[in-house]
Structure 1
Amino acid sequence: MKCPVGLKQIKLSTPDEREGKTEESSSVLKYYKAFDFEAFYQLDEMSQKKHLLDTLYNALLELCKKFDWPKVPFTDVYNKVLEEGFINHYVFRQKKSRNRKYVARIVCHHESDRFDCFVSITDKDEKEVFNKLIFTEEPDEFQFNGLLGDIKWADTHTLTVLNSDKSVKDSIDLTEIVAQ
């Protein structure tokens, strides 16, 4: 049995009579596995992260067997998460300035207690010349995804930070910053 194309998420649930069964709903493949929330909340933060990773990884291995998926991509990601110590920092958007002297990035830090979004500008030598917190939100993708916008160079020294609705959130003039 192959997993249908287009399914993008796997959801683990609290215990119920559908234990071990799968169910399709839109782009979500639900896989019912028992999870002991009481024991989970007794763990320290790092142990919680490890427990969640192990739970997800073991469920994915079961699904690999059930749907004949390759295990290697999941094992690689599992090992990478451990190697990086559960740090979840990534570049959401990146744009070079028109004169190629600067690179602007929207950088996301997804922590267990918050989601921080920054705008960062580096020169061509990767030296940071500007960094500013754009927003902080709950660490829930349904909360922060709607706030993630875009960046656009208005000219060679002016970066515009846009909200998700394309309205202007901020404008950064590098001529003032670099001159300091």
Structure 2
Amino acid sequence: MYLKELNLDLPYIVDDENIESIMKKQKCEYNEATKLDYALNWKWKRRSFSLETRCITAMYERLLGKYKTKDCWKVLIDCVENITDERIVNDSGVCSVPIQFSLNDFSGKNELEKKKATLRLLMEGIEKLALRNNLDIDPFREIALQIEELDYVNEWTWKKDVKSPNKEYNARVICHHNVDSMDIFLSILQRDGTQVHLEKVISEQPDEFAYAEHLGELTWVSDFEVALINKTGTEKYSATLNN
């Protein structure tokens, strides 16, 4: 089994006062009030936290590559204000690790500070898991060090370069995975590798399920125009080299 995913999560915490208030206002039972409370007061927090931390967790996954484990394909760091149960739970290969965390503190940080906080939380969870499962922590620390050396910049090239019809240029898709967005650029380079044009063509939510649909095919429309076509072939984003 290979470790494929690492994520931070914000588990739902039941607020009894909110539940009681909802039960009175909506005249409903406890279970229904809990569902309403989650939908109104927690779901968006959880989603926002997942999006803002995905930049670093995705970068960590990419740099780690294939890492063989005995029984864990995903590590889920449960970020909670108060840890009531220290146990690490393995549910069908998903290892959930509780870590103490303040959402208010995290929300008040700037982009770089959020990236650093994400990496700290991720490593704290991984170290707890490594200690319990007797894993070698060194490979994980090496990845954290790489991220620090790269200044927490998650930038990567999608697929291979595509040569222009006249053989004079190469085009590539460059992805910048930020805290608040995934910015996708079209880059045009001369044959010697010198970049002569860089244009941001898409800004999407920083989540694979949101931006992956844009990454369908990179093709040259002419000797000087390159286009990124989405997976369904319904949208085209192009960049043109002034000649």
TM-score by length of 2: 0.59
Equivalent pairs, count: 172
Q: Show CA shifts across 1:85-123 (max 9, x none).
A: 111111122224177643321101111222100111211
2:209 corresponds to which of 142, 156, 161:
142
Determine the structure 2 residue equivalent to 1:10.
75
| SS state at 1:89 partner | strand
Q: Secondary structure at the match of 1:121?
A: strand
Deviation at 1:29, TM superposition (A): 3.6
Following the alignment from structure 1 to structure 2, what is the Cα–Cα distance between the partners of residues 80 and 162?
A: 33
> CA offset at residue 79 of structure 1?
0.7
- Cα distance 1:79–1:14, how it changes in 2: closer, same or farther (>3 A)? closer
1:53 counterpart residue number: 119
One-letter amino acid of the structure 2 residue matched with residue 138 of structure 1: Q
Which residue is equivalent to 1:42? 108
Counterpart-to-counterpart distance in 2, 1:138 and 1:145: 10
The match for 1:81 is 147
Of structures 1 and 2, the one with the larger relative CO (CA 8 A, separation 6+) is 2
Deviation digits for residues 19-49 of structure 1 (CA, Å, limit 9, x no counterpart): 4422335x74433333221222233433332
Alignment map for 1:17-166 (pairs within 5 Å): 17-24=84-91, 28-97=94-163, 101-153=168-220, 159-166=226-233
1:150 to 1:61, Cα distance in 2 relative to 1, 3 A: farther
Higher Rg: 2
Instruction: Compare the two structures and name the one with the higher helix fraction.
Output: 2
* Runs of 5+ consecutive residues of structure 2 not aligned to the other structure: 1-68
Mapped partners of 2:87, 2:166: distance in 1: 56
Is the 8 Å Cα contact of residues 161 and 171 (structure 1) preserved in structure 2?
Answer: yes
Structure 1 gap ranges (5+): none
Cα distance in 1 for residues equivalent to 2:94 and 2:222: 42
- Give the Cα–Cα distance (whole angstroms) in 1 for the partners of residues 150 and 187 of structure 2: 22
Percentage of identical aligned residues? 23
Question: Hey, what's the Cα distance between the residues in 1 that align with 2:224 and 2:168?
Answer: 9
Asked whether the 8 Å contact 2:162–2:219 carries over to 1, the reply is no
Alpha-carbon distance in structure 2 between the residues aligned to 1:157 and 1:43? 43
**Residues 99 and 74 of structure 1: is their aligned pair in 2 closer, same or farther, counting only changes over 3 Å?**
farther
Instruction: Return the TM-score normalized by structure 1.
Output: 0.76
User: What RMSD, in angstroms, separates the aligned Cα atoms of the two structures?
Assistant: 2.9
